[in-house]
């Protein structure tokens, strides 16, 4: 049997088969971890270490296949040479299949990690947006409270204005009644028309003063409302 740097062809083949068994077992453990619901940091650490170990074993198997490919070509008997060729090719194919399975697993694992990171970032943005929405809601609530307070103050000012106007109207009616009585008295005692015209003119002046007072009252009310707002 031909001997290489790592032993005879049979010994190298046995070592490769042992590594294949260990790789299969490692991949099965990785798949069980993949379907596990646990997401702890300890599990993630075991996952990473096991994946690295499987990859290292696959690389070693491929190196052994290179060595076995050199060794089987040195076998003298053709039947034995063909048999070893098939055995080495089978080992190489299994190693390549394991490598593909490991690569697919690593891609899925990277995808899960990326999705978990994106979910965490999205959750962070959602929490930030929620705080912003709450601040907007508080500002709106304060604005609504301010509007309601201003509305109540405006209603109170309006009621005050109506009371003042009603009082002025009552005073005007009393003044008219007093003036009529005075005119009746003056007419009775024979006051001249000139005196009566003077009184009427004074009455008109008093009316203008009254209207000016009403206008000033209304202006004061609007100024008060604007100042309160």
* Greater pLDDT, 16 or 76: 16
pLDDT of residue 199: 72
* Greater pLDDT, 190 or 221: 221
C-alpha dihedral (20, 25, 30, 36), degrees to nearest 10: 160
Element (H, E) at 1: none
Give the confidence band of 44 by pLDDT, cuts at 50, 70, 90: low
Domain-by-domain residue ranges, the chain?
Answer: 4-130, 190-228
Locus of tokens 């040479």: 81
φ, ψ dihedrals at 105, nearest 5°: -60, -45
φ, ψ dihedrals at 8, nearest 5°: -70, 165
The 3 state secondary structure assigned to 61-78 is HHHHHHHHHHHHCCCCCH
C-alpha dihedral (125, 126, 131, 136), degrees to nearest 10: 100
Condensed to tens digits (0 to 9), the pLDDT of residues 144-186 reads 777 677 667 777 766 776 776 676 667 767 767 766 776 675 5
Note the CATH architecture for domain 4-130. Answer: Up-down Bundle (1.20)
Buried b (16+ CB within 10 A) or exposed e, 113-152: eeeeeeeeeeeeeeeeeeeeeeeeeeeeeeeeeeeeeeee
Answer yes or no: pTM beyond 0.95: no
């Amino acid at each position: 049997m031909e001997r290489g740097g790592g032993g005879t062809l049979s010994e190298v083949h046995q070592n490769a088969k042992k590594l294949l068994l260990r790789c299969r077992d490692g991949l099965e453990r990785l798949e069980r971890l993949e379907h596990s619901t646990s997401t702890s940091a300890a599990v993630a650490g075991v996952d990473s270490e096991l994946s690295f170990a499987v990859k290292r074993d696959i690389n070693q198997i491929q190196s052994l296949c290179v060595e076995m490919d050199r060794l089987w070509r040195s076998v003298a008997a053709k039947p034995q040479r063909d048999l070893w060729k098939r055995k080495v090719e089978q080992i190489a194919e299994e190693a390549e299949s394991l490598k593909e399975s490991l690569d697919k697993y690593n891609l899925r694992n990277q995808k899960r990690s990326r999705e978990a990171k994106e979910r965490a970032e999205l959750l962070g943005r959602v929490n930030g947006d929620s705080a912003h929405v709450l601040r907007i809601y508080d500002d709106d609530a304060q604005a609504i409270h301010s509007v309601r307070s201003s509305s109540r103050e405006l209603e109170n000012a309006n009621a005050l204005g109506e009371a003042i106007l009603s009082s002025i109207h009552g005073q005007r009616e009393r003044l008219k009644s007093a003036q009529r009585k005075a005119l009746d008295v003056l007419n009775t005692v024979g006051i001249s028309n000139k005196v009566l015209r003077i009184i009427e003119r004074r009455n008109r002046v008093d009316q203008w003063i009254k209207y000016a007072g009403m206008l000033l009252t209304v202006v004061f009310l609007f100024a008060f409302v604007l100042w309160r707002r």
